Structure 1
Amino acid sequence: MGDSAYSFSLTTFSRTGKLLQIEYALNAVSNGRTSLGIAAKDGVVIATDKKVSSTLIDVDAVQKIQSISPSSGFVYSGLGPDYRVLTRSARKNASAYERTYGERQPISQTVKQTASLMQEYTQSGGVRPFGCSVLAAGFDEDLEPKLFQVDPSGAYFGWRATAIGKGFVNAKSFLEKRVTPDILLEDAIHTCLLTLREGFEGEINGKNIEVGILEKETGSFRILKEEEVNDYLNEAN
């Protein structure tokens, strides 16, 4: 009996020790548009390819990077509707934390709660694993900028730099050669754009990529405007 006998069961391990529905969820992530992030000394940058499949689609209405709180943000690769559920939950949790404690929720807490929700969907009846991975940027308890990745299994990791989605292997290799522990935010933004350009099909511009930055100096997270992204791209030429 092969693994296919277990492929429709959410909570049964296959003979090779895998939950195949999670493997399928990871395949959905791998087929999604590339997203990546870099944690610098003075901030975090997250960026993504948001190129659409048809010229009839309004690309301005596509927003893959979402602000969770004034000092944190998410980006994803995979299924957009699943991502919306996660961002809505994360925003509620961040808002509740701030009302309770009078301060913004550390990104580690946001990530743990998101990972717990994703893990619940790997062992509950009538549901399926989330078909997306998330990169989260925010400040920890010591107000240091951090970058995390959360996968459909509920596993989460802290990274200096990473990539998810289509072409993530090549993107990670590109980042490994260029990201150092003392990299600054401005250099990190340029490195992210160069990495996206490496695997991008067609012309890259501020309309078909999206960039979000977390600045230690201001303590805030914001999404760059199209003009700002184009300025950075022009500088890289």
Structure 2
Amino acid sequence: MEGGENDYGFSLTTFSPSGKLVQIEYALNAISAGSTSVGIKAKDGIVLAVEKSLPPMYISESIQKINHLCDSVGMVSSGMGPDARVLVKKGRKEGQKYWLEYQEDINCSMMTRKLAYLMQEYTQKGGVRPFGVSVLVAGFDGKVPRLYQVDPSGSFWTWKATALGKNMTSVKTFLEKRYHDDIELEDAIHTAILALKEGFEGEMNEHNIEIGICTKENGFKVLTPSEIRDYLDIAN
């Protein structure tokens, strides 16, 4: 008698009758319950923004969801925080190796491939499980801004604007209405804030969201709480 989908959930490398790796489905479920992340590619840069859903007793600065991978590439994730930290460590190591060999920053496409290869490897090795996280990677290929998404399967692709996490459906709908090809970085920052407000619980402030920006001139930068507060004041 043929087993159901759940009978294949314990084996990482056994496909179910419908052709799925059930462990990957579990990972995607973890991502859909994670914090909402937004990425927007503008003419002159890229914006990453994320909601920080923290219990009242947490110090918000102790949890960082947007991270540098090197001076010119940054990453945000939705899903399981510890898994994201493994990818941040991997990305930073690859960035340092590239710099030591070529004396320049690794480009966004190559960094994305390094992360995707690691994530794909964890879908076929014994003793491990897939990463319970999807990531958005922001940077440049030469003078061209890039925004990539990498999923637990190791699949990756580029976006003009997208969202991950629990409110991604409504946020993507919002971005489809607001986005245009001539959008500039400042407008993209305001659009990212408004997108996060779709389904945001409670009052948004500089402590419960993070914003990162990437430009060709200045590389990747995570905005300070005071800089975020200034943008929120304008948005309100």
TM-score using structure 1 length: 0.97
Residue 119 of structure 2 is matched in structure 1 by 118
Distance 1:10 1:66 in 2: 29
The secondary structure found in structure 1 opposite 2:76 is strand
Structure 1 unmatched ranges of 5 or more: none
CA deviation digits over 1:70-128, x for unaligned, max 9? 11100000011001110101111111011111211011000001000000000000000
The answer to whether the aligner puts 1:228 opposite 2:227 as a matched pair is yes
CA deviation digits over 1:28-80, x for unaligned, max 9? 0001010010000100000000120x211111211100011111100000011
The secondary structure found in structure 2 opposite 1:198 is coil
Distance 1:51 1:21 in 2: 26
The secondary structure found in structure 2 opposite 1:163 is strand
Residue 60 of structure 2 is matched in structure 1 by 59
- Read off the aligned partner of 2:80 and give its amino acid letter: L
Question: How far has the Cα of 1:144 moved from its partner?
Answer: 1.5
CA deviation digits over 1:111-170, x for unaligned, max 9? 001000000000000000000000000111x22111100000000010000000001011
- Read off the aligned partner of 2:234 and give its amino acid letter: E
Residue 174 of structure 1 is matched in structure 2 by 174
Distance 2:136 2:8 in 1: 30
- 8 Å CA contact 1:115–1:154 kept in 2: the answer is yes
- 8 Å CA contact 1:51–1:59 kept in 2: the answer is no
Residue 150 of structure 2 is matched in structure 1 by 150
- Aligned residues between the structures: 234
Distance 1:36 1:175 in 2: 9
The secondary structure found in structure 1 opposite 2:94 is helix
Question: How far has the Cα of 1:181 moved from its partner?
Answer: 1.0
Residue 82 of structure 1 is matched in structure 2 by 83
The answer to whether the aligner puts 1:160 opposite 2:160 as a matched pair is yes
Residue 19 of structure 2 is matched in structure 1 by 17
Structure 1 consecutive aligned stretches of length 4 or more whose deviation exceeds 3 Å: none
Distance 1:184 1:223 in 2: 18
Question: How far has the Cα of 1:219 moved from its partner?
Answer: 3.6
Report 1:100-119 matches (<5 A). Answer: 100-119=101-120
Structure 2 unmatched ranges of 5 or more: none
Distance 1:213 1:119 in 2: 27
TM-score using structure 2 length: 0.97
Residue 93 of structure 2 is matched in structure 1 by 92
The answer to whether the aligner puts 1:197 opposite 2:215 as a matched pair is no
The secondary structure found in structure 1 opposite 2:197 is helix
- 8 Å CA contact 2:167–2:198 kept in 1: the answer is no
Question: How far has the Cα of 1:215 moved from its partner?
Answer: 1.6
What is the alpha-carbon root mean square deviation over aligned residues? 0.8
Distance 1:13 1:51 in 2: 35
- Read off the aligned partner of 2:93 and give its amino acid letter: K
Residue 4 of structure 1 is matched in structure 2 by 6
Distance 2:104 2:225 in 1: 31
Residue 26 of structure 1 is matched in structure 2 by 28
Percent identity among equivalent residues? Answer: 54
